[in-house]
Amino acid sequence: MKMYLISDNIDTYTGMRLVGVEGAVVHERNELREALEKAVSDSSIGIILLTEKFGREFPDIIDDVKLNRSLPLIIEIPDRHGTGRNPDFITSYVNEAIGLKL
């Protein structure tokens, strides 16, 4: 299975292309929807990488795919500007999942 990147900037796209990941650069809501539909319809794509900006700006589109399809897996990644998450987001996620403070 392949990975496919949907990015909001050319720098992230270029970096991923250097390691062999194909993708698309989109900026608007309808472009994101079209790129996701294209990626989801390709059965050889197992993982879709999205820059975090899309998760913040268009959560309804992303959630629709996550909730209604088992494949491909959608992963939000930070872009060249860094992450918008708290520095301890992994620890808080684990704490919430297991119910214990680490």
What CATH code is carried by the domain that includes residue 56? 3.40.50.10580
Instruction: Report how many domains make up the chain.
Output: 1
Contacts (Cβ under 8 Å, ≥6 apart) of 95: 101, 102
Cα distance between residue 59 and residue 94, in whole Å: 22
Is omega for the bond preceding 72 within 30 degrees of 0, making it cis? yes
Domain residue limits at 21: 2-98
* Predicted confidence band of residue 94 (pLDDT cuts 50, 70, 90): confident
Cα distance between residue 96 and residue 70, in whole Å: 23
Residues 11-68: tens digit of each pLDDT: 888 988 999 999 999 999 999 999 999 999 988 999 999 988 888 888 888 888 888 8
| DSSP 8-state secondary structure symbol assigned to residue 83 | -
Residues 77-86: tens digit of each pLDDT: 877 665 666 6
Write the burial class of residue 36 (CB in 10 Å: 0-12 exposed, 13-18 middle, 19+ buried).
buried
